[in-house]
Amino acid sequence: MTPLEAVFGTDPWWIVLIKVIGVFALLLVWTIFNVWFERRILGKMQNRKGPIMNGPFGLGQAMGDGVKLLLKEDFRPARTDAVVFSVAPALTAVAAFSSWAVIPLGGTVRMFGHETHLQLTDFPVAALLVMAIAGVGFYGFVLAGWASNGTYSLLGSMRATAQVISYEIAMGLSLVAVFLYASTMSTSEIVKAQGVTISMFGVDTPLPSWYGLLLFPSFLVYVIAMFGETNRQPFDMPECESEIVSGHITDYSGFRYALFFLAEYINCATVSAVSVTLFLGGYGAPWPFNGTFLNEGWWTLLWFVLKVQAMMFFFSWVRGSLPRVRYDQMMSLGWKVLIPGSLGWITLLALTRGSFIHRWTSPLVWVGVVVIMVIAVWAVFRASDEGEPAVVSVPAAAGEVFDAFADGYPVPPMPGTNLIEGVVVPASDSTARTASMNGADV
């Protein structure tokens, strides 16, 4: 029996059932609160009040919205695949709940006379299970867009597919550094590894060794990737109303729409909980409470909830602060910046860790480290400084009438020319260009 089996395989079945129901109820109540929380934060940031009318502080508004969705007419458009149309939201919702089976919510507690951990289960590759479930969950988006038999829905699902693939790679690479440092993929063991205290600059005060500080580049990549993974602003292209209505959920309503809505907020809480578990010490208390009774028992659940809620505030803050980026900008960030930067950082970290563990003193090792750093920095800055591809066009002759509908579809003037009252004027003519900008007649 492995150490993890000895810890998580001894609970009575009814204790396991209580923990399953508790996690399910916690996520439902937490989602209702997060909907209200985000609306209040956005209201404060946008100089308005937000929900204040129903219940104390407007807390009843989110509950009312949930009841409205459950009682609303749930119709299915014609010419859709009935089975897949209903399976898609259920698949996404189940995947959203499943990831929490291996996330430690707290430390060891006593429950009805039994000592147990506030975690359903754990095994040596639990962190990879979370990534695998996230990969399965996006199939709900694909199936929803395909089953809806609509152009906007299909386009939204294809965007979600490309986006999830791009940012899951960066997210997975950001976790590799944690696995290298912790020497395990077990979520509970990673939390314990961050509980080991260190002393800095000769000061005896112990500081928790959170990987978010020790491995800050990986933490930064993960934070950026989690917005792409959850389709949240500024990366909400699969659902952006200004282009494709609501994407894969355009044709959904009632209870099936509520499942997608529920899964979105649970996914936000899931990626926040993963960031807390792998980078921010998990359920461990921050300094200076890490050496007191506040870092034991049920208090650990409080610290976990507070940390995850702080990440949820970050989600709301970004949504209210940053505009939506272009789709090509988002894809370029993932493939040209985050992935190469993560690969360079992992290589550098592996060489550094190996040199300390095996006492490599060869100068060639450190020359290689410096070369890798220079190449990684150059690649990242080169990718970020690249402009849009140049468009080669032949300017029309001066005086030629431009017909936007010549090919049967409205086409704007090509780059390099200006359209003035139906006449194309070469862009090199500074007088004509200035007159065009000022609205003058030429």
Chain segment 166-189, per-residue pLDDT in tens: 888 888 899 998 998 888 888 888
Helix, strand and coil percent figures for the chain, each rounded to 5: 65, 5, 30
What CA–CA distance (Å, rounded) separates 16 from 441? 79
Confidence of residue 311 (pLDDT cuts 50, 70, 90): very high
Q: What is the pLDDT of residues 321-365, one digit of tens each?
A: 888 888 888 888 888 888 888 888 888 888 777 777 766 666 666
What is the mean pLDDT of the segment spanning 297-318?
Answer: 90
Instruction: Report domain extents, the chain.
Output: 3-324, 340-389, 400-438
Residue 7 confidence (pLDDT): 65
Q: Report the C-alpha gap between 255 and 43 in whole angstroms.
A: 27
| Contact by Cβ (8 Å): 222, 175 | yes
Q: Is the pLDDT of residue 307 over 90?
A: yes
Q: Alpha-carbon distance 169 to 129, whole Å? A: 15
Q: What is the mean pLDDT of residues 367-382?
A: 69
CA dist list (Å): 265 to 58, 150, 410: 19, 25, 41
* Average pLDDT score over the chain: 78
Beta-bridge partner residues of 233: none
pLDDT at 390 over 60: no
pLDDT of 29 > 80? The answer is yes
Give residue 436's pLDDT.
Answer: 44
Average pLDDT on 192-202 reads 66
Q: What percent of the chain has pLDDT over 70?
A: 76
Question: How many residues can be counted in the chain?
Answer: 442
Q: Write down the pLDDT at residue 395.
A: 47
Query: Mean pLDDT over residues 133-159, rounded?
Result: 81
What pLDDT was estimated at residue 9? 67
Decide if 95 contacts 137 (C-beta within 8 A): yes
pLDDT of residue 135 exceeding 90, the answer is no
Q: What percent of the chain has a predicted confidence (pLDDT) above 90? A: 9
Contact yes or no for 395/371 (Cβ under 8 A): no
Q: What is the mean pLDDT of residues 82-94?
A: 85
pLDDT for residue 391: 43
Give yes or no for residue 272 having a pLDDT over 60.
Answer: yes
Q: Name the residue among 65, 44, 61, 304 with its Cα closest to residue 187.
A: 304
What average pLDDT does the segment 367-392 reach?
A: 61
Q: Is the separation of the CB atoms in 279 and 209 below 8 Å?
A: no
Confidence at 220, pLDDT banded by 50, 70, 90: very high
Burial (CB < 10 A; 0-12, 13-18, 19+), residue 268, is: buried
- Could you write out the DSSP letters of every residue in 233-264? TTS-GGG-HHHHTTGGGTT--HHHHHHHHHHH
Please give the pLDDT value at position 281: 85
DSSP string computed for 189-205: HHHHHHTSEE--TT--S
pLDDT, tens digit (0-9, with 9 covering 90-100), for 394-426: 444 555 555 666 666 666 666 555 555 444 444
Q: Which residues contact 38 (CB under 8 A, 6 or more apart)?
A: 312, 315, 316, 319
pLDDT value at residue 285: 82
The pLDDT assigned to 159 comes to 82
9 by DSSP, 3-state: which? coil
Which distant-in-sequence residues (6+ apart) come within 8 Å of 325 by Cβ?
234, 235, 333
Asked if 253 and 72 count as a contact pair (C-beta separation under 8 A), the reply is yes
